[in-house]
Amino acid sequence: MQFIRKRTTIAFLAVLVAAAALAGGCGGSSDSSSGSTSAEDWANDLCGAISTWTTSVQSAVEPLKSGDVSKGSLQTATNSLKDSTSTFVDDIKSLGPPDTEGGQKAKESLDNLADELSSGVDDIRQTVSNISGVQGAITAMSSVQATVQKMGTDAQSALSDVEDADVKGELQDALKNSDNCKKLQSN
């Protein structure tokens, strides 16, 4: 059972790694179109959403980190993860494109990431709901880990797309100077 606890904790902590990767490297650009936001405001809102999501995910997995690993605790953590991710997805999708040259592409990349994270959490939730017995938990953890790894890869890919869109480095500067981003980087 200790093996299952470690694997479960590692899997859910990997979600935090994906969040940290998103927090550490977000930057993109946008076309000046109606509904766009200054790069500074966009970066601040993005990092605020990431901060809230990361805190919620950390709270969701805290019981697992302390060794309370059971089907019930996994389901509770997964439901919290689902709720947190739904809120994060709504926050990300409500961001207008940043008012920079490649802002629309940056927004599209993050919107796609939001969809992928939401789908990944749905997959995790389905996997956890089907756990039956110790062998089922071990099998489920392999699936959960694969899903979490894909979520991390999706985050890295989205970040690359956002960085590619930020041809003038405007969002990179905004992310460095945003109060919410500074708080994320100091955590």
55 contact partners, CB below 8 Å, separation of at least 6: none
Region 116-142 average pLDDT: 83
Task: Classify residue 134 as exposed, middle or buried by CB count within 10 Å of its CB (0-12, 13-18, 19+).
Answer: exposed
What backbone torsions phi and psi does residue 37 show, to the nearest 5 degrees? -125, 150
Residue-range domain boundaries for the chain = 37-186
Residue 10, token pair as written in the block: 């590692």
Q: What's the sign of the alpha-carbon dihedral 4, 13, 157, 110?
A: positive
Q: What's the sign of the alpha-carbon dihedral 169, 96, 119, 180?
A: positive
Residue 49, token pair as written in the block: 């959403």
pLDDT in tens, 18-68: 555 554 444 433 333 446 789 999 989 988 888 888 888 888 877 777 766
d(CA 182, CA 179): 5
Q: 104 with 97: CB under 8 angstroms?
A: yes
> What is the identity of the amino acid at 97?
P
pLDDT at 31: 39
Q: Is the pTM higher than 0.85?
A: no
pLDDT in tens, 58-109: 888 777 777 666 777 788 888 888 898 899 999 999 988 999 988 999 999 9
Tokens 């994320």 sit at which residue? 184
